[in-house]
């Protein structure tokens, strides 16, 4: 998803992206330099520097779905902070130095 915001436009950020089962998917891009966006209190959070390239870090809805972070509760607690970190924690043998 990175190439859409990186190479087509330089001033836009990805607000949402939706995966599709078929060929096409939808990407909502926001121009963070536009005054209407900067003055709107509902969406101007996207103008903060901490939200740069959310799509590259898997923070959009489709990114969280891909990483398996959609569910909540006791059935999904092993998916966090990431599936790879959980697998590594559960499959690494940790032995004390002097046993």
**In this structure, what are the phi and psi dihedrals at residue 38, rounded to the nearest 5 degrees?**
-65, -30
Tell me whether residue 45 is in a domain: yes
Closest CA to 66 of 52, 49, 84: 84
What pTM, to 2 d.p., does this model score?
Answer: 0.65
Total count of domains within the chain: 1
Residue 8 vs residue 70, higher pLDDT: 70
pLDDT tens-digit readout, 7-49: 555 678 877 777 666 677 778 888 988 999 999 999 999 999 9
pLDDT at position 39, please? 96
> Cα separation of 76 and 37, whole Å?
36
The answer to whether 32 touches 44, Cβ cutoff 8 Å, is no
Tell me whether residue 74 is in a domain: no
Give residue 21's domain range: 2-68
Tell me whether residue 89 is in a domain: no
Tell me whether residue 20 is in a domain: yes
């Amino acid at each position: 998803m990175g190439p859409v915001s990186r190479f087509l436009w330089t001033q836009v950020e990805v607000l949402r992206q939706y995966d599709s089962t078929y060929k096409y998917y939808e990407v909502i891009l926001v121009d963070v330099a536009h005054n209407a966006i900067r003055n709107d209190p509902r969406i101007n959070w996207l103008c903060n520097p901490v939200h740069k390239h959310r799509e590259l870090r898997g923070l959009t809805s489709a990114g969280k779905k891909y990483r398996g972070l959609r569910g909540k509760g006791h059935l999904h607690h092993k998916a966090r902070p990431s599936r790879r970190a959980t697998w590594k924690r559960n499959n690494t043998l940790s032995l004390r130095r002097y046993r």
